[in-house]
């Protein structure tokens, strides 16, 4: 697989990907970050000043996509730059055209997966851990730690897979991305989060001990309580069907709990 590029070069690019937006600007957005990220590749492919200058110039054009999903594009660019250096029929114009064609779709996919689904899902897990800890404040801090760990674990994995698979597959990485089926993964994350919230609600409505009640419903019968939780779960599923995002649902539940508690 590795011809001119070495695995150590890819790892340098991987760690630099976390600084992709460090020099974000309004004119060309992530272009300075792209040039910085790909600098180890330019140094490997070109030993002369003019070659490196041309390489940097090609990667200083407009660029903007989701930071984690940018790794797929970086991998493909590295693949095509290596092919061009080896004398294959690849032109700078083709590399730029491919970057431009992938930026928009990957930005939409990344924003949708990471921010609309994965972030609320990890937050739900963190909140569930905090609530289940009850008055054991010594373990409650695990909630945000677990949420941050899960969210960043996905980000780290996607960046690594995108870079390596992009380099291995080149322009055919589109087929690999299609096989990921992020849309169905989004649905599974949403349903899992809703099930977790539904399973957690009985813990919030403990009628056996009035001191643990978060809401002013001390006389509700257990059967009515279970029915209310079931209807709430159905309502959230219905809202998902009409395209209400999990983020809106999650924060809406938090606001509702606060209102029922203190109003």
Domain with 224, as residue range(s), is 181-263
Number of domains in the chain: 2
Based on the fold, state whether residues 51 and 129 are members of the same structural domain: yes
Whether pLDDT at 261 is above 50: yes
Based on the fold, state whether residues 195 and 71 are members of the same structural domain: no
Q: What is the pLDDT of residues 156-171, one digit of tens each?
A: 999 999 999 999 988 8
pLDDT for the residue numbered 44 = 92
Based on the fold, state whether residues 160 and 244 are members of the same structural domain: no
Please give the radius of gyration of the chain, using alpha carbons only, rounded to the nearest integer.
24
Based on the fold, state whether residues 163 and 252 are members of the same structural domain: no
Based on the fold, state whether residues 170 and 197 are members of the same structural domain: no
Average confidence (pLDDT) over 210-225: 48
Q: What is the pLDDT of residues 85-107, one digit of tens each?
A: 888 888 889 999 999 999 988 99
pLDDT for the residue numbered 216 = 45
**DSSP reduced 3-state for 25:** strand
pLDDT for the residue numbered 214 = 47
pLDDT for the residue numbered 32 = 93
Which of 163, 180, 197 terminates a domain? The answer is 180
Based on the fold, state whether residues 250 and 172 are members of the same structural domain: no
Based on the fold, state whether residues 119 and 21 are members of the same structural domain: yes
The 3 state secondary structure assigned to 122-161 is HHHHHHHHHHHHCCCHHHHCHHHHHHHHHHHHHHHHHHHH
Based on the fold, state whether residues 135 and 33 are members of the same structural domain: yes
**Rounded Cα–Cα distance for residues 154 and 149 (Å):** 9
Helix orientation angle between 31-45 and 7-16, rounded to the nearest 10 degrees: 160
Based on the fold, state whether residues 8 and 31 are members of the same structural domain: yes
pLDDT for the residue numbered 134 = 63
**DSSP reduced 3-state for 29:** strand
Closest CA to 253 of 227, 224, 233, 225: 233
Which of 180, 206, 225 terminates a domain? The answer is 180
Based on the fold, state whether residues 90 and 62 are members of the same structural domain: yes
Based on the fold, state whether residues 42 and 168 are members of the same structural domain: yes
Based on the fold, state whether residues 26 and 143 are members of the same structural domain: yes
Which of 132, 164, 180 terminates a domain? The answer is 180
**Rounded Cα–Cα distance for residues 98 and 105 (Å):** 12
Report residue 236: phi and psi, to 5°: -65, -40
């Amino acid at each position: 697989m590795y011809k001119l590029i070495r695995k150590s070069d890819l790892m340098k690019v991987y760690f630099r990907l976390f600084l992709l937006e460090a020099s974000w600007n309004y004119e060309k957005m992530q272009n300075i970050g792209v040039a910085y990220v790909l600098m180890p590749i330019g140094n490997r492919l070109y030993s002369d000043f003019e070659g490196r200058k041309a390489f940097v110039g090609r990667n200083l054009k407009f660029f903007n996509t989701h930071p984690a999903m940018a790794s797929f594009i970086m991998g493909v660019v590295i693949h095509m730059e290596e092919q061009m250096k080896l004398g294959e029929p690849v032109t700078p114009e083709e590399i730029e055209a491919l970057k431009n064609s992938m930026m928009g779709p990957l930005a939409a996919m990344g924003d949708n997966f990471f921010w609309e689904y994965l972030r609320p899902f990890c937050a739900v897990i963190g909140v569930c851990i905090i609530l289940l800890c009850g008055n054991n404040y010594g373990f409650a801090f695990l909630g945000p730690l677990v949420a941050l760990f899960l969210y960043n674990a996905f980000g780290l994995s996607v960046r690594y897979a995108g870079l390596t698979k992009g380099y291995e597959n080149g322009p055919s990485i589109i087929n690999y991305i299609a096989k990921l089926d992020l849309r169905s993964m989004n649905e599974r994350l949403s349903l899992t989060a809703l099930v977790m919230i539904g399973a957690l609600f009985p813990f919030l409505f403990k009628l056996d001990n009035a001191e643990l009640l978060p809401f002013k419903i001390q006389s509700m019968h257990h059967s009515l309580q279970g029915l209310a939780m079931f209807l709430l779960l159905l309502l959230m599923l219905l809202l998902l069907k009409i395209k209400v995002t999990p983020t809106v649902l999650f924060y809406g539940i938090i606001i509702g709990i606060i209102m029922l508690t203190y109003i």
